[in-house]
Every structure is written in structure tokens, then in C-alpha cells.
Amino acid sequence: MLLGCVDRSKEPEERKQKEGDSMAWKVEEAIRSVDGRIPDIAYETSAVGKEPVSVLLEKSAVEVVEKAVKLGEDYVKNR
């Protein structure tokens, strides 16, 4: 699994102000953090007024569910 990190404390002020602009910035940052690849999971660090979040990325909702099930199975198998 490829993990992309988004440091919310580095989000530019102008991106925070425009409705919906944070999401585009977060996607760009997650991809940048893994050298231009698309991560399987993008996780955010916390920042003032922002709680940390992790997001599974896939092409469809069904694939997201399949990935979540696989993560759960791997967790149970390897704990």
C-alpha cells in the first residue's frame, strides 16, 4: 500500500478561504508526497481547527470497499 501524507498545517491561507479549494490542494499534496504517484491511502496530519483524516482512494466505491476489506483481513492476519 502506498501512503500519501498531507500536512494540513502547510495549507496556504488562500486555499483555505475559497470553498472547495482545500480538497484540490489535499489531492495535489498527497500525490506530491509520493513522487507523483497516486497513493492507496491519503492521510492528513492535524492542524488548528482540523482533525486528522485518512482517505482510501480508488476508482469506484466498490473498489474502496474491497480495499477496506483487504486492509481488515491483513490486519487480522498480521496482528
Strand partners, 7: 45
Claim: this prediction has a pTM higher than 0.85: no
List the single range of 17-21, 32-36, 55-59, 75-79 with lowest mean pLDDT.
Answer: 17-21
26 in helix, strand or coil?
A: helix
State phi, psi for 50 to the nearest 5 degrees: -125, 130
Q: What is the pLDDT, as a whole number, of residue 22?
A: 87
pLDDT tens per residue, range 16-51: 888 878 888 999 999 999 999 999 999 999 888 888
**Alpha helices of the chain — where are they, by DSSP H?**
13-17, 21-32, 61-78
Domain range 3-78, its CATH number among 3.40.190.10, 3.40.50.2300, 3.40.225.10, 3.40.50.300: 3.40.225.10
Amino acid residing at 24: A
Domain ranges of the chain: 3-78
